[in-house]
Structure 1
């Protein structure tokens, strides 16, 4: 079970009454999500999904505010903050960085198309320029182990086992890859071939997360073909209008298109309001298919609270069974044993799919959840100076790179310390640094 948010827009409201109203709606969302989740069979969420526009202008202080709010939401719905996954939206770009060479490159991509995008992605220096707009988003998302792949490919993924031999895998796409000022019209964005090509494994169905709906892409026709043939659920945001549609692709194969409402829309009227989803994924044993149960929630202005959004379902049952060809390609799981009076509330296993170099728990006896939470606190909540000081104190920094740090270097050194059976030392130093910062904040 996942809480699904989109278009939170931290930093959108500067001062005044609208800021107070938005903050109240976000508090009510946490209260509502906690109540709904606790009333469902599992009683707690497996994670939180954010389909873009976490910030409004891609600034660090906006992500700091978002992190505190997401921490509280995760706590109240029963998952860890490290169980949050995200993709960027157009508002997660720092538009102040779109100038000079960056602006020239983006204009060239719009004018010349995918061939020009590919040429830039082949060159390391060009990639650095292209992704410079995402600096603060990358810092924030990397801490949740949701990095952007700066070669223009889909990002590291998460797999959720539903039962033995049946799983879903979340695929995260960056639809804001070429977003720029004044040139973000329908049909003008690009995913690029590196992101469009996605391949499920037998016994595994894909749930694709992105910010922009398909009609915003210049390469939407080819992207749609890949989705119809290889994915079961496509979740997007951006348009602030919540909707759900199920398409029958062919016999025994369906695709659910889920458009998120905005957690914090830029305007509130008869069409737009605060909205979010709670989504349950399960295996349908009778059909050997993917079951998706949707609990859409929307703001009731009459009562100033969130309620079930039955209008969005338009008479559709909350639970939809999707024909799942990748499930049927694998051996059928053993028959589930049902014991009368016993409810199975065990949480599904969620696995972050990392490269061999990134995977710490595969090398040493490190608790996965503890490592993920420590990684989050280290990279999200500590400034660069504190992080460097901790790594130096743990003798993790070779002298020749002490002056040339970047996030990739820090990540590698952090993992080296954790693999060396020193995670207790690492945790102690992180907690000390966080306590020191909290004390300084109080004194100020």
Structure 2
């Protein structure tokens, strides 16, 4: 059975003006209804997650992310996904340009005048890094709740692994291509840098990497090196930004393919024949016949005459949207033993090239840090992930601190500066100490108090 993901990109919450406020609100609701219908007709009838390839917000402000969170919750509920099952990366509109300091501007100019060497020199300095990452403050809080934290060392981030069959998994690798954005960058004169500390992604036997990033390859100064690592270590590269949906399959060498998938804009500033409202539903499955990865696209586009989403037969595979990718890291692992297939109704669609009936499972497996130290594992408690999302996304800083204080999470005489990382460790400690129910109760209480006070 396939792992099904709804893929949105360039939603731009907060860009609406005039009558577009109402038009865009309607489009977002129609997308939810359309995704619910399409997903219900795919084998299994529910999705496994949501992918967001940047530009969630228009100007990186918290109010925009509050609206985005409500919409993502509603989308998740309608496609059968728990609200925390989201993988996201930042786009150039997810940074708050008003938070760029004078020193930060000098740093950006220095790197743009140079290249990867200057980029690495800056990222080796924690103070200089902080000046660049300060612009992602609100995005960072939002993504942290979804367990998609920005890596403040400038390396790739990765937590979610999806098991498609015994010994066959895909792993989502998240890049931040927007760290050097300033508003005037253009692809004809690339100024952005991914950096070696980020594009050197792992090889793992039995696991194929799916890279999520906002900008396509042609926007990077170091695009040649990034391309080499993507072609040799990733199986799918999913980007956004250009609002132009397209897909290509590159045969790197015998037994090794890479799929380059560019998303359209879910909510462009205006909709016309060139740039219309689009999103995708993607099925990932083990291709049992070829021991590869089967990727089935369901591209959806807005029909302005019918004012609804419908199948897009022009792009991203058209009438034949199934791609079967040769996977070297699958073939390095022992082949899964044959499994009996589960009886399916006669009219249930089955992904081409796969008859293996194992239900995909998702594991959160943190990668090592830049210093080579494994990240701590999350507690395995029912309801933990949703509580973590609500704690970081839905509570104000003072409310989070109140929970930590009242539930005795803060060590006596501690002088460690409060940070998201420390809050996460203390939150996890409360859960491990059996206080998850108390945390959830206090979250509801504090949100309720705030709403009552606003009336």
Q: How does 1:235-274 map to 2 (within 5 A)?
A: 235-274=238-277
Among 333, 346, 350, the residue aligned to 2:336: 333
TM-score relative to the length of structure 2:
0.92
Identify the range of structure 1 (248-257 vs 211-220) with the bigger mean alpha-carbon deviation.
248-257
Cα deviation 1:309-360 (Å, max 9, x = unaligned): 0100455522111001100000000112125447898742111222655313
d(CA) in 2 for partners of 1:185, 1:322: 29
> Are residues 1:321 and 2:324 paired?
yes
The superposition leaves residues 71-109 of structure 1 with CA deviations (integer Å, 9 ceiling, x where unpaired) of: 100111110111011000000010111230010001000
Q: 1:397 and 1:313, CA in 2 relative to 1: closer, same or farther beyond 3 A?
A: closer
- 1:196 matched to which residue of 2? 199
- The whole-number CA distance in structure 2 between the counterparts of 1:281 and 1:133 is 34
Secondary structure of 2:410's aligned partner: coil
Counterparts of 1:100 and 1:145, CA distance in 2: 31
Whole-Å separation in 1 of the counterparts to 2:194 and 2:413 = 38
How far apart are residue 196 of structure 1 and its match? 1.1
Q: Quick check: 1:289 aligned with 2:292?
A: yes
| Counterpart residue number, 1:169 | 171
In the superposition, relative to structure 1, how do residues 391 and 345 fare at CA in structure 2: closer, same or farther (>3 Å)?
Answer: farther
* Residue 18 (structure 1) shift: 1.1
Q: Deviation per CA, 1:159-180, whole angstroms, max 9, x where unpaired?
A: 0000110000010000102111
Given that 1:84 and 1:144 are in contact with CA atoms closer than 8 Å, whether structure 2 keeps it comes out as yes
- The residue number in structure 1 matching 2:371 is none
Q: Is structure 2 residue 360 aligned with structure 1 residue 360?
A: no
Q: How many angstroms apart in 2 are the aligned matches of 1:315 and 1:158?
A: 29
Give me the TM-score of the superposition, normalised by structure 1: 0.95
Kept in 2, the 8 Å contact 1:94–1:134? The answer is yes
Query: What's 2:424 paired with?
Result: 411
Give 2:224's aligned residue.
221
Q: How many residues are matched?
A: 436
Q: What is the CA RMSD across the aligned residues, in angstroms?
A: 1.7
Shift of 1:384: 0.7
Q: Higher helix share goes to which structure?
A: 1
In structure 1, how many angstroms separate the alpha carbons of the residues matched to 2:313 and 2:360? 28
Judge which range, 68-77 or 111-120, deviates more.
Answer: 111-120
Indicate the residue corresponding to 1:306 in structure 2: 309
* Deviations 1:242-299 (CA, angstroms, capped at 9, x unpaired): 1111111111211111110101112222100000000000001111110001000000
Q: 1:439: Cα distance to partner?
A: 2.9
Q: Deviations over 1:200-245 (max 9, x none)?
A: 2111111100000011111111111111111111000000011111
Change (3 A) 1:69 1:402: farther
Q: How does 1:15-414 map onto structure 2 within 5 Å?
A: 15-186=17-188, 187-313=190-316, 315=318, 317-341=320-344, 347-354=359-366, 357-361=375-379, 366-367=381-382, 370-401=383-414, 404-414=417-427
Aligned 8 A contact 2:168 2:206 in 1: yes
Give ranges in structure 2 of 5+ residues lacking alignment. 349-355, 368-373
Instruction: Give, in whole Å, the separation in 2 of the partners of 1:188 and 1:392.
Output: 45
Report the CA distance shift for 1:25/1:151 in structure 2 as closer, same or farther (over 3 A).
Answer: same
Determine if contact 1:121/1:151 at 8 Å carries over to the other structure.
yes
Greater mean alpha carbon deviation, residues 348-357 or residues 109-118: 348-357
Q: In 1, distance between residues paired with 2:185 and 2:378?
A: 42
Structure 1 residues without counterparts, runs of 5 or longer:
none
Change (3 A) 1:340 1:193: same
Residues of 2 paired with 1:336 and 1:346: CA distance? Answer: 8
**Paired residues of 1:178 and 1:190 also in contact (CA < 8 A):** yes
Aligned residue number for residue 370 of structure 2: none
> Counterparts of 1:313 and 1:293 in 2: how far apart (Å)?
10
Are the counterparts in 2 of residues 360 and 419 from structure 1 also a CA contact under 8 Å?
no
